Chains A and B, each alone.
Chain A
Amino acid sequence: MSGRTINLTLRVWRQQGPGAPGRLETYQAENISTDASFLEMLDIVNERLTLEGREPIAFDQDCREGICGMCGAVVNGRPHGPERETTLCQLHMRHFRDGDTLIIEPFRARALPVVKDLAVDRGALDQIIIAGGYISVNTGQAPEANSLPVPRDDAELAMDAAACIGCGACIAACPNASAMLFTGAKISQFALLPQGRPEAARRALSMLARMDKLGFGNCSNHKECEMECPKGISISNIARMNREFLKAALLSREKIPA
């Protein structure tokens, strides 16, 4: 906590709606405490815009502690800004210098259309989960919890994958706008656990087919998703997903959905 303040020039993407043309507009952010978060800095700018009778910048956000996955924008070309393993809400202004210019844009991908300004529609990520990102167990069916031991290392790896917050930064970072890190994380979490094995083949085939259908690109090993992931999800999850997919396509009786 330093009590310092800085002044910044913001160039922010403004777009009225999904079909409308967008443009970068310039705003000054003045006397910003370096202890403020990036979103608090945007709050301050928005308060001023409101009082000046101008429309505030729309941006998605909720928990402001880096776990809900609702916030996210590209700052100077990097999803969630320059700090590693940090969501936009946990990015603090102490990482910027007085006088900096920040270019702030929405996550861009064909499958994630802009809703307004910096807010995008990530419904496609729910669609990928709907295709098989679950274990089919009804309430009431479960056996006693300790009846199925899970090796600690497997549980830990599954937890590493399960830490995904579904923010979409991996897609925004990828030159192919691929959702393979997101999809691979969910497929890996269940593939690593004995509870997930019965449906593993069907899950891998179905989720990947849905991913393609929704207009996401493929992985060509740029690894930018891993670099920008605020939760440090490893691309080894993509490799595991590919193995699961191959095993399922070649060796199981499951068919790739049309």
Chain B
Amino acid sequence: MQLDAKIPAGPLEGKWDRQRFELKLVNPANKRKFDLIVVGTGLAGGSASASLAELGYNVKTFCIQDSPRRAHSIAAQGGINAAKNYPNDGDSIWRLFYDTIKGGDFRAREGNVYRLAQVSNWIIDHCVAQGIPFAREYGGLLANRSFGGAQVSRTFYARGQTGQQLLLGAYSSLMRQVAAGRVTMFPRREMLDLVLVDGAARGIVVRNLITGEMERHTAHAVVLATGGYGNVFYLSTNGMASNVTAAYRCYKKGAGFANPCFTQIHPTCIPVHGDYQSKLTLMSESLRNDGRVWVPKKPGDTRRPEDIPEDERDYYLERMYPSFGNLAPRDISSRAAKLVCDQGRGVGPTGRAVYLDFAEAIQRLGKAEIEARYGNLFQMYEKIVAEDPYKTPMMIYPASHYTMGGLWVDYNLMSTIPGLFVLGEANFSDHGANRLGASALMQGLADGYFIIPYTTGGYLAGARLPEVSADHAAFKESEAAARQRIDRLLKVKGQRTVASFHRDLGQIMWEYCGMGRNDEGLAKARKLVADLRAEFWENVRVPGADTDFNQGLENAGRVADFLEFADLMLLDALARRESCGCHFNEAFQTEDHEALRDDENMAHVAVWEYAGEGREPVFHKEPLVFEFVKLATRSYK
């Protein structure tokens, strides 16, 4: 496997300009001769589909839900970062770049992250032009707020529904291209395989989820924007349909998988309360602008929060990280919550929760102002927990939220398979070992609106791509393999449901590959996952038939892939001999329990290559070169 990141030489500020000049162009009249497949319609896939179609390519877009508007980007709450510096508080492209690379604990590429910061401002311009109703000041200009890991206000937002509004913007642009006949939309399809012809990505096999029929679709290139794999933990903030299947099938076809152990645990989610529970709900990080996080000083204190006097409370984030306080980055805040709960100071019925308290903010700003800022989030909390957060502090606990790992891509967002591009959360590129708040929306849209339109052209203009038909042997093989797997799932007819396996897998991964990891636990988890996987194929019960709308079958296929993929995460966590960002191996920590990086030996991207059924994947390294920033110990104190 060759890992050439293809980052142009020269000063950081000029890299993307230079690349755009050096990428070959496709003549406008020739663009319509190229068919492109886009899988996924979240921020990355939706924006890519629209932008590529605007350029004149024939785009075929696939999504798993009944409409492209439902992708899980829609659930992002807090906001989107950009280096506009409207508040005049010292922001700049360089600062956004630096905050992001530092926030990622120096495990991302300088070139990629700088480009992300550069295009961030165009995203805001474009989204405003699309009619996205961002929050505004009384003068009619755009409002900003603060987010974790930054000391400037650079986050643009639309109440607590920023993801929804940005997604509906991308969706409306996509629908406009459907109206123009440039995009053909295929909803309720699940990608089951990537098809390679002469080593290049030339199409996909999908299952029509309504009829169960297999379909083959050809193209000159495939753009994968299928999101992250946070549901490997079973309980997560992801949508129920979010899965690793498409990315994992690409991995099995030869795409390198990068940093799979980098999984973000978000600090502010509604805690787990019962074993019937199907998901965890995020409470936006923006709440930490005004909410103060605390636990009782005394372990085992069961008094109600209002009965605990001020001097018996430990506002631990403010104490441990005085300069960032409650806005410390996500990995650090999550770990701190785990630490205080491990000390027996957690609250609520399970002891796995901390308070997020608005009493002081309500006193300072008034209830009306808090309602204006966070009303919908407070309402959501009250619906789920049946407590009024205006009166009683919220209880929160960390939960699986986002995955920084993903398919390896070069600077052009192309994977190790020629013609397979990977965007958004599905790739590994920009967030290193920890993503800062309000950066996922920025990256998804940067990839889709402003990077892929250039880089696909560069590939198509330079590649020799003979015509391929859907009758090609490679398509037949892929379809047969996908069909065989479905038959196998239906034939087991065992005694356990798919969900019960998924729940067990989640527990193993949360326990041994969650916020705190160690070699012994990771090795044990590999064994537990292998046993669970074996049991799955002997004892799972999948209801119904394959020629039908069969949600049980869909889910079974996804869980089967999670059971294989989990091992890759564990392997990667074992191989990373340091702690960095979200990856915290207990053997590598400072005296005050902070992550201890090893820049000498571990400043690399870990990339895994599939080696065949039952064989250990092959490990590759892409060294990370830092020419422009000095590697510093990340401190938010």
- Interface of A toward B, CB cutoff 8 Å: 1-3, 17, 33, 35-37, 39-40, 43-44, 46-47, 49-51, 53-56, 58, 60-70, 83, 85-86, 90, 92, 94, 115-116, 119, 121-123, 125-126, 129-146, 148-152, 155-156, 158-159, 162-163, 165-166, 189-190, 193, 195-196
**By the criterion CB–CB under 8 Å, are B385 and A1 in contact?**
yes
Instruction: Chain B residues near A92: list those with CB within 8 A.
Output: 383-384, 386
* Residue B418 at the chain A interface, CB threshold 8 Å: no
Minimum C-beta distance from B241 to chain A (A): 5
Q: Are B549 and A133 in contact (CB under 8 A)?
A: no
Instruction: Choose one: A1, A125, A151, A159; the contact of B273 (CB below 8 Å).
Output: A1
Determine whether B239 belongs to the interface, using a CB cutoff of 8 Å to chain A.
Answer: yes
Stretch at the interface among B159-167, B464-472, B527-535, B612-620: B159-167
Determine the chain B residues whose CB is within 8 A of the CB of A40 once the complex forms. Answer: 276-278
Give 12 new A-B contacts, CB below 8 A, not counting A126-B185, A133-B175.
Answer: A56-B543, A56-B551, A58-B549, A67-B74, A68-B72, A115-B549, A123-B66, A145-B125, A151-B136, A159-B159, A165-B164, A166-B69
Interface residues as binary, B541-575 with A (CB distance below 8 Å gives 1, 0 otherwise): 10110001101100000000000000000000000
Say yes or no: B142 contacts A67, CB within 8 Å: no
How many A-B pairs fall under 8 Å by CB? 222
Q: Which residue of A lies closest to B64 (CB)?
A: A62
Assess whether B210 is in contact with A115, with CB atoms less than 8 Å apart: yes
B518 CB within 8 Å of chain A: no
Max chain B CB contacts within 10 Å: which of A67, A83, A85, A149? A67
Give the nearest-CB partner of A120 in chain B: B66
Interchain CB contact under 8 A, B66 and A70? yes
Q: What are 13 A-B contacts defined by CB distance under 8 Å?
A: A1-B273, A35-B274, A53-B543, A62-B65, A63-B239, A116-B549, A130-B175, A130-B179, A135-B131, A139-B50, A139-B51, A158-B133, A162-B133
Known: A55-B544, A145-B124. A1 touches B386 (CB 8 A): yes
Distance between Cα atoms of A124 and B138 in the complex (Å): 38
Given contacts A1-B386, A55-B544, A67-B75, contact A190 B131 (CB under 8 A): yes
With contacts A60-B66, A134-B173, A149-B140 known, is A90 near B126, CB below 8 A?
no
Cα A56 to Cα B497 in complex, Å, equals: 12
Residues on the A chain within 8 Å of B379, using CB? 85
How far is the CB of B242 from the nearest CB of chain A, in Å? 8
Bin the interface of chain B by size: 35 or more
| Inter-chain contacts of B130 with A (CB < 8 A) | 134-135, 137, 195
**A141→B72 contact, CB < 8 A:** no
CA distance A88 to B125 in the complex (A): 36
Contact of A44 among B159, B276, B279 (CB under 8 A): B276
Inter-subunit contact A159/B158 (CB<8 Å): yes
Contacts of A47 in B (CB 8 A): 497, 499-500
Please state if B495 and A51 are interface contacts (CB–CB under 8 Å): yes
**A155-B66 CB under 8 A given contacts A62-B241, A142-B128, A146-B141:** no
A189 to B169, CA, bound (A): 12
Among B133, B384, B544, residue most surrounded by chain A Cβ atoms (within 10 Å): B133
Please name all residues of chain B whose beta carbon is closer than 8 Å to the beta carbon of A146 when the two chains form the complex: 84, 86, 141-142
Task: Look across to chain B and name the residue whose beta carbon is closest to the beta carbon of A133.
Answer: B172
Cβ–Cβ < 8 Å partners of B449 in chain A: 139
Q: Which B327-372 residues sit within 8 Å CB-CB of chain A?
A: 348-349
- Closest Cβ of chain A to B455, distance in Å, is 14
Q: How far is the CA of A56 from the CA of B74 in the complex (A)?
A: 28
Q: Are A126 and B67 also in contact (CB < 8 A) when A62-B239, A63-B239 are?
A: yes
Q: Is the CB of A64 within 8 A of B239?
A: yes
CB-CB < 8 A to A131: which residues of B? 179
Give the interface SS of chain A, mostly helix, strand, loop or mixed: loop
Q: From residue B283, how far is it (CB to closest CB) to chain A in Å? A: 10
Complex interface residues of chain B between 412 and 439 (CB less than 8 A to chain A): none
Judge whether A141 and B129 touch: CB under 8 Å. Answer: yes
Within 8 A of A (CB), among B480-522: 495, 497, 499-500
Docked Cα-Cα span, A17 to B495, in Å, equals: 28
Interchain CA distance A3-B273 in the complex, whole Å:
9
On whether A122 and B67 interact (CB within 8 A), knowing A2-B386, A51-B495, the answer reads: yes
| A82–B28 alpha-carbon span in the complex (Å) | 55
For the complex of A and B, the 5 pairs showing the least CB-CB separation, nearest first, are: A149-B140, A134-B172, A142-B129, A159-B133, A142-B125
B54 in contact (CB, < 8 A): yes
Instruction: Contacts A133-B172, A142-B126, A159-B159 given; indicate if A68 touches B74 (C-beta within 8 A).
Output: yes
Cα-based distance from A80 to B403 in the complex (angstroms): 32
Chain B residues with Cβ under 8 A from A43's Cβ? Answer: 276, 278, 499
A166 CB contacts on chain B under 8 angstroms? 67, 69
Contact A62-B240, Cβ < 8 Å, known A92-B383, A139-B51: yes
For A129, list chain B residues within 8 Å (CB).
171-172, 175
Residues of the A chain whose Cβ atoms lie less than 8 Å from the Cβ of B84: 145-146
Whether A155 pairs with B135 at a CB distance below 8 angstroms is: yes
* Nearest-CB residue, chain B, relative to A53: B543
User: What is the chain A residue whose CB lies nearest that of B210?
Assistant: A115
Contacts of B163 in A (CB 8 A): 67
CB of A69 within 8 A of CB of B131, answer no
Chain A residues contacting B406 (CB-CB under 8 Å) are none
**Bound complex: CA A135 to CA B168 (Å):** 12
Pick the residue among A69, A122, A134, A155 that contacts B175 (CB under 8 A): A134
Q: Is B94 an interface residue (CB 8 A)?
A: no
Q: A139-B51, A145-B142 are in contact. Are A58 and B551 (CB under 8 A)?
A: yes
Chain A nearest CB, measured from B544 CB (Å): 5
Most buried by A among B68, B158, B543: B543
- Residue with the highest number of chain B CB atoms closer than 10 Å, among A49, A125, A133, A162: A162
Nearest CB of chain A from residue B591's CB, rounded to whole Å: 38
Query: Which residues in B have their C-beta under 8 angstroms from that of A148?
Result: 128
Q: Give the CA-CA distance A138 to B53 in the complex, in Å.
A: 10
- Within the complex, what minimum Cβ distance (angstroms) separates B386 from chain A? 6
| Cross-chain contact of A63 among B75, B139, B273, B543 (Cβ < 8 A) | B75
Q: Out of A50, A68, A119, which one reaches B541, CB within 8 Å?
A: A50
8 Å CB contact of A33 from B86, B126, B274: B274
Closest to A165 in B: B164
CB distance from A54 to the nearest CB of B (A): 8
Given A40-B277, A142-B125: A62 in contact with B72 (beta carbons within 8 A): yes
B405 at the interface (CB under 8 A from A): no
Q: Is the CB of A149 within 8 A of B139?
A: yes
In angstroms, Cα B548 to Cα A69, docked, is 23
Q: Does B273 lie within 8 Å of A35, measured CB to CB?
A: yes
